[in-house]
Amino acid sequence: MSEPDAPAAPAATEKPRVRVPAKSMRITDSLLALTARPDAGQPVDPFAMPVFPKPVEASANRLAADEALISSAQWAAAAFSIMTTSGIGFLGYPMLAEMSQRPEYRRAAEIIAQELTREWIDLTYEGEGDQTDKLKAIKDWLVRMDAQTMLQRAIELEAYFGRSHIFIDTGDSDSPEELKTPIGDGVDAISRVKVSKDHPVRRLRAIEAVWTYPQRYGTSNPLKPDWYAPQAWLVQGQEVAASRLLTFIFRPVSDLLKPAYAFGGIPLIQLIKPYIENWVRTQRSVGETLHSFSVSGLKTSMAAALAVSEEDLIKRATLFRNLKDNRGFLVIDKETEEYFNAATPLSSLDKLQAQAQEQCASAAGIPLVKYTGISPSGLNATSEYEMEAWEQWIKSQQETQLRPAIRTLIGFAQLSLYGEVDPGVGFKFNPIKPMSDEESAQLRKTKAETDEIMIRSRTIAIPEARKRVAGDPDSDYTSLAPDAIPPLDPLQQAELDAKVAGAVVEVGELIGDQTALKILKGQPMFRQISDAEIAAADILPPEPPAELPMGPGGPMGGPPQIAPPGQPPAPGPAPDQAAA
């Protein structure tokens, strides 16, 4: 009989689980205030008038205008109340000036300004006579006035503020009444009176839009030329005629919005602002993601934590955040907290960041390689077509935005130098993309071959071709004297004399002996021909012999017989034969 089974060992004592009744999470206003983000701001009125600083007026009773400085600072500070807005409207000059400090905004403005003026212009002349000295004098005048730099600066300021000016200083800056009078467009009758050799243009200066305010513009009749077109500008309280300020507005707005934009246009940096902000936000997010791509956290009872103290919950989260890096030491409650970690994939962050950067360049209308200096990636990637489109856009902007201003400056240059304007003086914009050495050599070769063909066809003469070579700025022979034709070597001269002699023999019967001898004497091989021999020669060619009388079937049974030169003519037919 088998023994009974041993009794089983008693089971381990288990702690009874106590179910905590579910409580609703209590989130108070104070907790929301602790974790709230700054308000995004309210949209602004797009038709609100811009605010300008008060003119700085020095007082005779005080050494410094301290109150004016304080008011200017208050005016600038007031504009920052809309810095967080995303509404459509003029942002104001203080905010635009603040934005111009960011490299994303500044690079867009600088690139466009540099590209429009980088290769500058070449002066041209349409008319008779050699005007090389005059064109050189005008070019030197533009260099002395620093016109290229002033235009570049004005274009850059226009991109920042939507409007800019170049002040044409005729030496009347301290004459308030004279500044109110116009000086014309550089070629009209007013310009000829105001600017001369005795009263020339002395300097050019770029003026920011914030220091100018529009004056005397029409608002009653859209058919008049002064309709929303200021005839004068207040420059720190001083009225200045509009013709004394070359105004640049690349992106004009509607007439309804002109007062709100201080009669300027939309600044470039304001147009690209949403894209730049998106890029900055994306860049910051990518950086934060890389810094904390491995997210750590604590699992805890939110209801119990909030029921005790909201500030304690925030403090606990702050302590965990401060100690979560490898530099710190993490301590958790093993009974009520549980640590976890979650890693974020980083495979597509570079593409998101690159797309945000491309949007900045596209909004500014600048090729990515020009805006960022980064070459396109990928198989057979190239920016050739984008650069061609960019160059075409730059050329169109030069013609529409810069040509009127440069034409005015060239007119004032002639008045300052000569007291008159030559309508034949013009200019052309140099190519934006300079040619390589190989392309320049090929172009010079093509021009030389063209000159050779034109000389052989007797369309132009050798001095005219030499003059073109001497006047070509890309030629290596700019010091060439057009009228000094170099002599041929003896072999070439002998071949030329032989050709001339052969041609004279062929046409000698038509031009006469005297003319033929004169032509031959002009060649070195026949210089021994004397003037006496030329005088003794026949002046006119010999008369052609008379033809035979015609018969019913032709000239008496055959073609007319013409006697050889130097022999008497053959006798004609008898009278009775002719009658028959």
The residue whose two tokens read 């050799």 is 197
Contacts of 237 (CB under 8 A, 6+ apart): 55, 57
CA 103, 104, 109, 110 dihedral sign is: positive
Taking 90 as the threshold, does the pLDDT of residue 162 lie above it? yes
The three-state DSSP-derived secondary structure of 194-211 is: HCCCCCCCCEEEEEEHHH
Taking 60 as the threshold, does the pLDDT of residue 577 lie above it? no
Name the most confidently modeled range: 19-33, 117-131, 160-174: 160-174
- The neighbouring-strand residues paired with 28 are none
**pTM flag (> 0.75):** no
Taking 50 as the threshold, does the pLDDT of residue 557 lie above it? no
As a whole number of angstroms, the distance between CA 507 and CA 513 comes to 10
580 confidence band (pLDDT: 50, 70, 90):
very low
| Number of C-beta neighbours around residue 213 at 10 A | 19
Burial 150-161 (b: 16+ CB within 10 A, else e): bbbbbbbbbbbb
As a whole number of angstroms, the distance between CA 182 and CA 484 comes to 49
The overall average pLDDT reported for the chain is 79
The residue that leads in pLDDT, 258 or 75, is: 258
Q: What is the mean pLDDT of residues 301-328?
A: 72
Question: Of the ranges 182-196, 267-281, 321-335, 518-532, which one carries the lowest mean pLDDT score?
Answer: 321-335
As a whole number of angstroms, the distance between CA 281 and CA 356 comes to 9
| Encoded tokens for 423 | 């309508």
Taking 60 as the threshold, does the pLDDT of residue 76 lie above it? no
Residue 244 dihedral angles phi and psi, to the nearest 5°: -80, -10
As a whole number of angstroms, the distance between CA 258 and CA 270 comes to 16
The residue that leads in pLDDT, 513 or 260, is: 260
The residue that leads in pLDDT, 71 or 106, is: 106
Summarised one tens digit per residue, pLDDT across range 252-298 is 999 989 999 999 999 999 999 999 999 999 888 888 777 777 777 77
53 confidence band (pLDDT: 50, 70, 90):
low
The residue that leads in pLDDT, 300 or 11, is: 300
Strands of the sheet with 232-235, listed across from one edge: 212-215, 232-235, 238-241
> What percentage of the chain exceeds 90 in pLDDT?
37
Distance of CA 152 to the CA centre of its chain: 9
So what's the pLDDT on residue 61? 47
Q: What is the dihedral of CA 261, 266, 271, 274, to 10 degrees?
A: 0
Residue 391: exposed, middle, or buried by beta-carbon count in 10 A (0-12, 13-18, 19+)? middle
Q: Rounded to the nearest 5 degrees, what angle is found at the Cα of 29, between the Cα atoms of 26 and 34?
A: 105
Tell me if 520 sits within 8 A of 512, measured CB to CB.
no
Minimal CA–CA distance to 408: which of 212, 288, 577, 246?
A: 246
| Number of C-beta neighbours around residue 295 at 10 A | 12
As a whole number of angstroms, the distance between CA 453 and CA 257 comes to 60
- The neighbouring-strand residues paired with 444 are none
So what's the pLDDT on residue 317? 79
Minimal CA–CA distance to 354: which of 283, 420, 458?
A: 283
The residue that leads in pLDDT, 327 or 2, is: 327
| Encoded tokens for 243 | 């013709």
What residue type is assigned to position 146 of the chain? D
Task: Give the start-to-end residue ranges of the domains of the chain.
Answer: 46-55+67-288+364-376+383-432, 435-486, 490-536
Helices (H), 225-326: 268-271, 273-291, 302-308, 310-323
376 confidence band (pLDDT: 50, 70, 90):
low
Taking 90 as the threshold, does the pLDDT of residue 158 lie above it? yes
Helices (H), 147-272: 147-161, 176-179, 189-194, 268-271
Summarised one tens digit per residue, pLDDT across range 418-445 is 999 999 999 999 998 877 788 888 888 8
Taking 80 as the threshold, does the pLDDT of residue 184 lie above it? yes
Helix axis angle, 273-291 relative to 103-117, nearest 10°? 130
